[in-house]
């Protein structure tokens, strides 16, 4: 039986590749520009490796898909905070990839110390990519009333107006999160860790692989990795008190939807400075009176609009649907189809599975004793799909990207977005169902009644964008 190792993409890839090279694993294709997901080792024929988003590594090891894994201790602790009996063993500190999780408040929000927080009568809003650690922290701090906003990213852009606190990774020394943000406490120091599945650790001889790492570990420099924390530029910063009651709060997407978004805004006669930002500024300035802009992840927008933290936001219909399936009575309203960013959300299996549709899948799995494993970034869409199609016993495996690599070893079905289907085909996958056609859309909150001035401003933005969309 092969020994399976889950390796990280992204932040830790460079140093992990160096470590494994020194250790003589002879992995072909594990480098920054890799397009390969499955790797073989020249030195250890019994070893197979797969490359995951770092956050997926502890989950994959805990559920027993992989014997060993490498990822930051922060993601291990995030998993263990919610699921303390996960079958994970923290085997070895690999010394690189150091960082600290900070609890960060803001000067203008008045959240600069724990004492101030504890005496606040209002609910404390905590936003983080680490929702489980955030909840555990809030309990340990004995906050009397708190809400957690789970995020896909861009947490540093949230305080003070969109959240009171953020739990956010940073450098091990001298970390500053930009103007107005204040570090309240260090929550967790982390570095890259070798982890093992508990059962594998207790029953399998992996000493050869472990020895190879031990031999070279002292050679690895202890150094912090540059964490990609975007520092809001001072010029683009807007204090919450400067956002008046009548100001429209508009959320624009970061990532690859920025280009078409700018084009649309320009077509609508709206000029915007420093978006996409060259310096990670999350508060670009729009040339329109009474409108403040913040740049966040499109995945996080529906929840933020539902909570009234933004009046308007540009996101994808896929994320609107994902939100609606989780919260059917959400006040989220789709105001305008923006036409760009077209993708399909599809159900995907491997090519050699002798089925062509969902009925076939259901019949095939009815005969199998094991549960159907469904991997998806869209856990609520995936759950609804499985329920509606009576897929019997199934499990949702949440993922944070590169989902196409999960089939066939680590999942049986994907719920995934695709533009052309080419990437799927390249990975020997086929589409058995189309769940939804998505495109970018403008969203608002149907239950918030804005002031008359604000209402006018919102309407004029929607009208300008509607005209621009029609011109396309």
Partner 1 sequence: MRIKRCKGSRDLLPEEMSRFRHIERTFRDCCLGWGYQEVKTPTLEYLHLFTAAGTLTPGMLGRVYSFLDWDGWSGQRVVLRPDGTIPVARLYIDNMTEQGVAKLCYVTNIFRFEETGKESRESWQGGAELIGVSSPLADVELMTLALDVLKRVGIKDVELRLSHAGLIRDLLQKLGLNPQEQARVFDQILDGDTEALARIESAKPDLGRMMISLLDLKGKSADFLSNLKSTLNHSIPELEAHLDNFARIVALLEATEHNYQIDLTSGRGFEYYTGVIFQIFIGEEKIGGGGRYDALVPLLGGGDIPASGFALYLDHLMRLVTPAAITKPEERNILLRVEPEVIGQGFAAANLLRGAGYVVCTQLTDREPATSRWVLEVRRKAPSFVLIDQTKRKDVALPNVTEVLAALGGGNADQGSVT
Cα–Cα distance, 280 to 179 (Å, whole number)? 13
By C-beta, is 84 or 452 nearer to partner 1? 84
Q: How far is the CB of 141 from partner 1 (least distance, A)?
A: 8
By C-beta, is 145 or 351 nearer to partner 1? 145
By C-beta, is 312 or 347 nearer to partner 1? 312
Q: How far is the CB of 30 from partner 1 (least distance, A)?
A: 36
Q: How far is the CB of 139 from partner 1 (least distance, A)?
A: 4
Q: How far is the CB of 163 from partner 1 (least distance, A)?
A: 10
Binding residues for partner 1, rule: CB under 8 A, are: 84-85, 123, 125, 136, 138-140, 142-149, 303, 306-307, 323, 326-330, 369
By C-beta, is 14 or 331 nearer to partner 1? 331
Q: If you count them, how many residues does the chain have?
A: 472
By C-beta, is 139 or 219 nearer to partner 1? 139
Cα–Cα distance, 44 to 26 (Å, whole number)? 8
Q: How far is the CB of 225 from partner 1 (least distance, A)?
A: 30
Q: How far is the CB of 384 from partner 1 (least distance, A)?
A: 13
By C-beta, is 229 or 306 nearer to partner 1? 306
Q: How far is the CB of 232 from partner 1 (least distance, A)?
A: 24
By C-beta, is 155 or 429 nearer to partner 1? 155
């Amino acid at each position: 039986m092969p020994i399976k190792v889950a390796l990280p993409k992204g932040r830790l890839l460079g140093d992990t590749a160096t470590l494994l090279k020194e250790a003589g694993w002879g992995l072909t294709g594990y480098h920054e520009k890799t397009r390969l997901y499955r790797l073989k080792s020249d030195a250890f024929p019994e070893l197979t490796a797969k490359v995951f988003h770092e956050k997926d590594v502890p989950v994959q090891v805990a559920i027993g898909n992989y014997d060993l894994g490498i990822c930051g201790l922060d993601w291990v602790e995030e998993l263990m905070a919610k699921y303390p009996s996960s079958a994970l063993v923290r085997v070895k500190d690999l010394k690189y990839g150091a960082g600290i999780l900070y609890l960060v408040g803001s000067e203008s929000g008045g959240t600069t110390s724990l004492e101030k927080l504890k005496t606040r009568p209002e609910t404390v809003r905590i936003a983080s990519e680490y929702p489980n650690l955030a909840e555990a922290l809030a309990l340990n701090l004995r906050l009397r009333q708190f809400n957690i906003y789970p995020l896909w990213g861009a947490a540093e852009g949230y305080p003070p107006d969109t959240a009171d606190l953020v739990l956010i990774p940073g450098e091990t020394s001298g970390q500053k999160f930009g103007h107005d943000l204040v570090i309240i406490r260090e929550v967790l120091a982390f570095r890259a860790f070798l982890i093992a599945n508990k059962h594998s650790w207790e029953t399998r001889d992996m000493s050869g692989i472990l020895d190879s790492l031990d031999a070279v570990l002292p050679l690895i420099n202890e150094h912090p990795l540059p964490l990609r924390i975007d520092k809001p530029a001072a010029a683009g910063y807007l204090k919450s008190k400067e956002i008046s009651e009548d100001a429209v709060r508009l959320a624009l997407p970061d990532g690859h939807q920025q280009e078409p978004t700018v084009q649309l805004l320009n077509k609508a006669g709206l000029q915007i400075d420093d978006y996409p930002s060259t310096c990670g500024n999350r508060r670009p300035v729009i040339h329109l009176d009474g409108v403040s802009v913040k740049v966040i992840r499109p995945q996080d927008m529906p929840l933020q609009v539902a909570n009234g933290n933004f009046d308007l936001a540009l996101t994808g219909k896929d994320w609107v649907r994902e939100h609606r399936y989780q919260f059917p009575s959400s006040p989220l309203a789709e105001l305008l189809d923006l036409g760009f960013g077209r993708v399909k959300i599809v159900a995907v299996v491997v090519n050699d599975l002798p089925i062509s549709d969902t009925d076939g899948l259901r019949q095939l799995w009815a005969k199998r004793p094991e549960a159907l494993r469904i991997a998806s970034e869209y856990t609520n869409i995936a759950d609804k799909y499985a329920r509606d199609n009576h897929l019997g016993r199934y499990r949702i495996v949440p993922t944070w990207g590169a989902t196409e690599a999960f089939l066939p070893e680590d999942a049986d079905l994907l719920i995934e977005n695709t533009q052309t289907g080419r990437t799927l085909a390249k990975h020997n996958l086929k589409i058995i169902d189309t769940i939804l056609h998505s495109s970018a859309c403008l969203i608002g909150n149907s239950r918030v009644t804005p002031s008359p001035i604000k209402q006018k401003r919102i309407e004029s933005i929607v009208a300008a964008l509607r005209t621009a969309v029609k011109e396309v």
